[in-house]
């Protein structure tokens, strides 16, 4: 039986509130909501970060199982640690592998954690750090080399390094070209414009709203590409977010406190610290992991953290596993809205106000994510539309891990092992 195609477009940091309150800004998304099924409130995963979230979306598993527990790796000596860029970091089976095994063609455009994967047409997301500096966007080794060179040759003039909004314009042009000329069975697209604007200017800023409008236009271009290709009638579309964001104005530098306790050693004159730590915080922005090594009094560590301004909740290691977070952590600590964690030492104080003049530099934000997914008004959202999707329907609440299994159902595929998430029945026609 011939299955319909699937195009998944991730609009990074799109929340339920965007579609519920700003519908006028997104005529194309509004049309999709009318034509398809709007899954209104999607609860994210611990921590609500981009890489763990996209990996949960595509595997149907929580980070504790798929292994991508954070955006970046624990590398205390580096100001900008490596990200979980590579497919080999994913310990569960992503849907693109299942599709490929079934003989389907696959394509991905900046979909996180796909570098070195076997996706047929892949522009992998791999970059030096998260302040979107002007450096080489993708390495040839990590993507499909011939495809990358071809795309860069045709559309490279659209981008200015990895700066937004030009990066999303470049990615959209590449995806449009591929939808038209390669007509993949499964296409995954990740657009980051709005997330960048929220980090820099705030969650509900004019800049973020302008980005949302731009994204709406890009979604329309991507859909039009399938009409041009003649594949529109056989294509299901999913437009989803991975998490929302929360405005912040204060930072918590837990490692500064740990240094005072003698649990780690700062590098002189730098905000990094040495590899001989016994207790260390590893930030997820709205939350932070705390790891310990050797003989450490966990009660004492917890007591020290509990005394810090802006700490909302401390989950111990066993609780963190139940929440689907890193099984290796000693604690998972949650900040109150308005606060976020850094990994830095040698700062003026443990809790520090964000200097507005510093916004846009490394780890200086107006909005962040990475909190627990149960923060109020913090849901992400998803729209499904296409020949196998119910028309004019809504679904109230699901979990992020339910999305991959729903994609699998739409493609007629099965993950090789049971997933934490289940297909969202309210979306499927049959
Ligand atoms: Zn994100």
Give the residues across from 281 on adjacent strands: 290
pLDDT digits (tens, 9 = 90+) for 373-382: 999 999 999 9
CA of 12 to the centre of ligand 1 (A): 4
CATH topology of domain 249-364: Gyrase A; domain 2 (3.30.1360)
CA of 265 to the centre of ligand 1 (A): 32
Residue 119 structure tokens: 């996706």
Task: Say how many Å lie between the CA of residue 297 and the centre of ligand 1.
Answer: 35
Q: Residue 348: CA atoms inside 13 Å, Cβ hemisphere, count? A: 6
What CA–CA distance (Å, rounded) separates 255 from 342? Answer: 8
Going from N- to C-terminal start, the domains of the chain cover: 5-245+375-411, 249-364
Alpha carbons within 13 A on the beta-carbon side of 282: 27
CA of 299 to the centre of ligand 1 (A): 34
How many angstroms separate the alpha carbon of residue 310 from the centre of ligand 1? 23
| 365 Cα to the center of ligand 1, angstroms | 14
Expressed in angstroms and rounded, the spacing between residue 141 Cα and the centre of ligand 1 is 24
What confidence tens digit (pLDDT) does each residue in 207-249 have? 999 999 999 999 999 999 999 999 999 999 999 999 999 999 9
pLDDT in tens, 308-360: 999 999 999 999 999 999 999 999 999 999 999 999 999 999 999 999 999 98
What per-residue confidence (pLDDT) applies to 333?
98
CA of 270 to the centre of ligand 1 (A): 28
Question: Is residue 415 pLDDT above 80, yes or no?
Answer: yes
CA 13 – ligand 1 centroid, Å:
5
How far is the C-alpha of 221 from the C-alpha of 238, rounded, in Å? 14
pLDDT confidence band for 144 (50 / 70 / 90): confident
Q: How many CB atoms lie within 10 A of CB 327?
A: 14
CA 385 – ligand 1 centroid, Å? 22
Q: For residue 208, how many other CB atoms are within 10 A of its CB?
A: 26
Query: What pLDDT score does 135 carry?
Result: 39
Would the pLDDT of 173 be above 90?
yes
Show the DSSP H helices in 202-278 as ranges: 206-229, 254-260
The model's confidence at residue 130, banded by pLDDT at 50, 70 and 90, is: very low
pLDDT at 141: 58
pLDDT, residue 156, reads: 85
How confident is the model over 133-152, as a mean pLDDT?
65
Average pLDDT over residues 97-113: 97
**Amino acid 138: pLDDT:** 46
| Cα of 11 from ligand 1 centre, angstroms | 8
Share of the chain above pLDDT 90, in %: 86
- The pair of three-digit structure tokens given for residue 299, joined into one six-digit string: 């009660």
Separation of 370 CA from ligand 1 center, angstroms? Answer: 9
Angle made by CA atoms 284, 64, 344, in degrees to the nearest 5:
20
Higher pLDDT pick, 262 / 153 = 262
CA of 130 to the centre of ligand 1 (A): 11
61-86 pLDDT, tens digit per residue, is 999 999 999 999 998 888 788 889 99
Instruction: Compute the distance from residue 298 Cα to the ligand 1 centre, in Å.
Output: 32
Which of the four pLDDT bands, split at 50, 70 and 90, describes residue 1? low
Please say if the pLDDT value at position 127 is more than 70. no
Structure tokens at 368: 């962040």
DSSP state for residue 359 in the 8-state scheme: T
Where is 96: in which H helix or E strand? helix 95-101
pLDDT score at 375: 97
Q: How far is the CA of 306 from the centre of ligand 1 (A)?
A: 28
CATH superfamily of 5-245+375-411: Alkaline Phosphatase, subunit A (3.40.720.10)
Judge whether 194 and 219 are in contact, CB under 8 Å.
no
Residue 320's CB is within 10 A of a number of other CB atoms, namely 26
pLDDT at 131: 41
CA 259 to chain centre: 31
Q: Are 150 and 174 in contact (CB under 8 A)?
A: no
Residue from 288, 281, 282 nearest 335 by CA: 288
Mean pLDDT over each residue of the chain, to the nearest integer:
94
Give 164's pLDDT tier (boundaries 50, 70, 90).
Answer: confident
Asked if the model's pLDDT at residue 133 lies above 50, the reply is: no
Does residue 105 register a pLDDT over 70? yes
Nearest to 119, CA basis, from 108, 110, 130: 108
């Amino acid at each position: 039986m011939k299955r319909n195609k699937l195009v998944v477009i991730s609009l990074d940091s799109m929340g339920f509130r965007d579609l519920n309150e700003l519908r006028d800004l997104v005529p194309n998304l509004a049309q999709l909501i009318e034509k398809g099924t709007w899954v209104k409130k999607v609860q994210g995963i611990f921590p609500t970060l981009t890489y763990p979230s996209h990996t949960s979306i595509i595997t149907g598993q929580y980070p504790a199982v798929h292994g991508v527990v954070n955006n970046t790796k624990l590398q205390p000596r580096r100001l900008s640690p490596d990200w979980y860029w590579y497919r080999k970091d994913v310990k569960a089976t992503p849907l693109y592998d299942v599709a490929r095994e079934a003989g389907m063609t696959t394509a991905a455009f900046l979909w996180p954690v796909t570098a070195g994967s076997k996706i047929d047409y892949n522009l992998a997301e791999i970059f030096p750090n998260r302040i979107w500096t002007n450096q080489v966007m993708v390495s040839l080794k990590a993507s499909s080399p011939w495809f990358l060179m071809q795309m860069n040759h045709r559309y490279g003039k659209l981008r200015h390094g990895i700066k937004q909004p030009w990066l999303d314009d470049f990615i959209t042009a590449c995806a449009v070209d591929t939808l038209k000329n390669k007509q993949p069975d499964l296409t995954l697209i990740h657009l980051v414009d709005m997330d960048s604007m929220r980090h820099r200017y705030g969650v509900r800023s004019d800049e973020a709203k302008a980005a949302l409008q731009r994204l709406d236009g890009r979604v329309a271009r991507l859909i039009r590409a399938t009409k041009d290709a003649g594949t529109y009638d056989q294509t299901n579309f999913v437009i989803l977010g991975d998490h929302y964001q929360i405005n912040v104005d204060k930072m918590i530098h837990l490692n500064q406190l740990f240094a005072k306790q003698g649990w780690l050693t700062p590098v002189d004159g730098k905000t990094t610290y040495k590899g001989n730590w016994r207790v260390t915080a590893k930030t997820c922005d709205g939350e932070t992991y705390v790891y310990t090594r050797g003989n450490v009094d966990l009660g004492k560590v917890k007591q020290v953290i509990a005394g810090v301004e802006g700490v909302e909740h401390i989950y111990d290691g066993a609780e963190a596993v139940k929440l689907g977070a890193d099984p290796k952590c000693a604690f998972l600590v949650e900040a109150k809205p308005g606060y976020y964690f850094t990994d830095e030492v040698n700062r003026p104080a443990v809790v520090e106000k964000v200097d507005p003049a510093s916004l846009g530099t490394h780890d200086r934000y107006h909005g962040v994510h990475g909190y627990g997914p149960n923060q109020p008004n913090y849901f992400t959202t998803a729209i499904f539309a296409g020949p196998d999707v119910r028309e004019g329907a809504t679904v109230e609440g699901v979990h992020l891990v339910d999305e991959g299994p729903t994609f699998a159902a739409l493609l007629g595929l099965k993950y090789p092992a049971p997933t934490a998430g289940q297909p969202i029945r309210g979306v499927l026609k049959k």
